[in-house]
Structure 1
Amino acid sequence: MPWYDNFFSGLVQEAWKAAQTDEQTELEADFLNDVLALQPGQRVLDVFCGYGRHAIELARLGYSVTGVDISTESILQLQKTAQREKLSIEALAGDFLTVPLASGFQGAYCMGNSFSFFPHDQMAVFLEKIAGSLTPGGYFVADTAMIAESVLPDFQERSWMQIGDITFLMENEYDARASCVTAHLTYLRNGQTEHRTSRHYIYTVAELHRLFQKTGLIVTEQFGNLDGSDFQLGDERLLLIARKSE
């Protein structure tokens, strides 16, 4: 069973939702709308869609969106929103690596820092599935903050933050052999405490270029922000834009 199978529920979900602003979602949806180069009515795949903050915005623009997420709680919420607004969204609950998925998507994206869930062998399978879902020439956007050039120069063993009325504590361990950050997380609110453990696998930008290329996804751009600036050492975020080979 993968670590993320039962991770996304309860205070974790509430803290994640509270941390995302409408402005951030709109900026990211505008970015996706630009770089995916889609036409209204075309099909786009949202990998690890969560409760659908990007899927909803893109569906409002006229795209047909399929979202996949392992959190049944999130998928049910997305289905209700899609039904209420009469949006063209198909929301599928399940592990992306194993859930049956159609092909013929003109674009795909993985936003929200879920891209780093997989060790090398599973990452190859993950990218192969995405590439197999795309039509030739279709674009894929990968968003991650867990990149070697971002994490390792200023690795933090402990941190905390306040998200609304939820206190979020994090203790990190780095395994150099596996290139993996294991985070022990504690969420606190009004006497309620929840503990979780997550694992994020760390890749260099060059490693991702090679993995993408092996699966038929050619990286065309690497941004350090939504403004299109080129990724530099120490940037907190990497946005990779790749095109499926013809």
Structure 2
Amino acid sequence: MSWYQTFFHGLPQQAWQAAQTDEQNQLDLEMIVETLSFGPDDRVLDVFCGYGRHTLPLARMGAQMTAVDISEEYITALKAAAKTEKLDVRAIQADFLTTPALADDTETFDAAYCLGNSFCFFPYPDMLAFLQRIAHLLRPGGRLLVHSSMVAEVVLPDFQERNWMPVGDDMTVLVENQYEPLEGSIHQQLTYLKTHTDGSVESVQRTAVYYVYTLAQLSRLLSQVGLTVEAVYGTVHLEPFMVGDEGAWIVAEKA
């Protein structure tokens, strides 16, 4: 069983949601709309959708959204929100890599995106299968936007072995990183601390593994599955990528 299949519940899940600001979500949305070139009634796939921070606003714009995430809590919340607003959202609780729920959706999506470090959950064979599945679901001319801060040119120039991160008003996360150069991966030990109103502190530990690819490696992988890289950005403001940027946003198109 892969680590991410049991990671996202409890404090780690709360911390991830608390870390996403309204401003960041809005900037993400503007980037999605500008780079993927889809319109109302187009079919859009949100891979590892979380609680729907992008799915719901895009559905409000008229997109027909399909959203997939492994977290039952996130998908339950997303379904409830979509039902309340009567939005066109198909929410699937499953591992995107293995779910049969999308088997009948061959070449039906006009666009797809995967934002956040979930893009680097996979070692090479699984990453290839992951990209093959996305390519299989996109129509010819369909576009893909992926983002990660675990790309080699992003994470390695300023690699931090230990970092304390405040999250919201009541949580702190200690991130301890170990880079495995022969494996091309970063092993993380995360300690989540939440201070409750009565002064007590709740502590939870998790481990995670992120696979580090260069942009050239990712470009070759995308090419192998029939997707051509159109652009690589270093910020949500669509600025050209430079080594050491905060993340890499890759836009690709299916032939």
TM score, norm. by length of structure 2: 0.95
Task: Give the Cα–Cα distance (whole angstroms) in 1 for the partners of residues 36 and 159 of structure 2.
Answer: 32
Q: Aligned match of 1:193 in 203, 216, 221?
A: 203
The percentage of counterpart residues that share the same residue type is: 48
Task: Give the Cα–Cα distance (whole angstroms) in 2 for the partners of residues 78 and 171 of structure 1.
Answer: 31
SS at match of 1:200: strand
For 1:213-224, what aligned pairs fall within 5 Å after superposition?
A: 213-224=223-234
Is the Cα contact below 8 Å between 1:40 and 1:62 reproduced in 2?
yes
Q: Does 1:209 align with 2:219?
A: yes
Is the Cα contact below 8 Å between 1:141 and 1:242 reproduced in 2?
yes
SS at match of 2:182: coil
Task: Give the Cα–Cα distance (whole angstroms) in 2 for the partners of residues 222 and 152 of structure 1.
Answer: 18
What are the superposed Cα offsets for residues 45-67 of structure 1, whole Å, 9 maximum, x if unpaired? 00000001000111010000000
Q: Aligned match of 1:133 in 118, 134, 137?
A: 137
Q: Which residue number in structure 2 is paired with residue 230 of structure 1?
A: 240
Task: Give the Cα–Cα distance (whole angstroms) in 1 for the partners of residues 165 and 23 of structure 2.
Answer: 20
What are the superposed Cα offsets for residues 201-220 of structure 1, whole Å, 9 maximum, x if unpaired? 00000000100000001000
Q: Aligned match of 1:175 in 162, 168, 180?
A: 180
Is the Cα contact below 8 Å between 1:26 and 1:57 reproduced in 2?
no
Q: Which residue number in structure 2 is paired with residue 242 of structure 1?
A: 252
SS at match of 2:51: coil
Whichever residue aligns with residue 243 of structure 2, its letter is L
SS at match of 2:25: helix
Is the Cα contact below 8 Å between 1:141 and 1:241 reproduced in 2?
yes
Q: Which residue number in structure 1 is paired with residue 198 of structure 2?
A: none
Q: Alpha-carbon deviation of 1:32?
A: 0.6
SS at match of 2:156: helix
Task: Give the Cα–Cα distance (whole angstroms) in 2 for the partners of residues 129 and 178 of structure 1.
Answer: 24
SS at match of 2:251: strand
Task: Give the Cα–Cα distance (whole angstroms) in 2 for the partners of residues 81 and 53 of structure 1.
Answer: 11
Q: Does 1:59 align with 2:64?
A: no
- Which runs of no fewer than 5 residues in structure 2 stay unpaired? 196-200
Q: Does 1:114 align with 2:140?
A: no
Is the Cα contact below 8 Å between 2:150 and 2:210 reproduced in 1?
yes
Larger mean CA deviation between 98-107 and 62-71 belongs to 98-107
Task: Give the Cα–Cα distance (whole angstroms) in 2 for the partners of residues 89 and 179 of structure 1.
Answer: 37
Task: Give the Cα–Cα distance (whole angstroms) in 2 for the partners of residues 171 and 228 of structure 1.
Answer: 31
Q: How many residues align?
A: 245
Q: Which residue number in structure 1 is paired with residue 189 of structure 2?
A: 184
Task: Give the Cα–Cα distance (whole angstroms) in 1 for the partners of residues 40 and 59 of structure 2.
Answer: 9
Runs (4+) off by over 6 Å = none
Task: Give the Cα–Cα distance (whole angstroms) in 1 for the partners of residues 165 and 130 of structure 2.
Answer: 31
What are the superposed Cα offsets for residues 181-240 of structure 1, whole Å, 9 maximum, x if unpaired? 000000011321101000000000000010000000100000001111110111111000
What are the superposed Cα offsets for residues 133-166 of structure 1, whole Å, 9 maximum, x if unpaired? 0000000000100010111111111001111201
SS at match of 1:220: strand
C-alpha RMSD over aligned residues: 0.7
Q: Does 1:92 align with 2:92?
A: yes
Q: Aligned match of 1:150 in 141, 150, 154?
A: 154
- Which runs of no fewer than 5 residues in structure 1 stay unpaired? none
Is the Cα contact below 8 Å between 2:180 and 2:186 reproduced in 1?
yes
Task: Give the Cα–Cα distance (whole angstroms) in 1 for the partners of residues 27 and 162 of structure 2.
Answer: 30
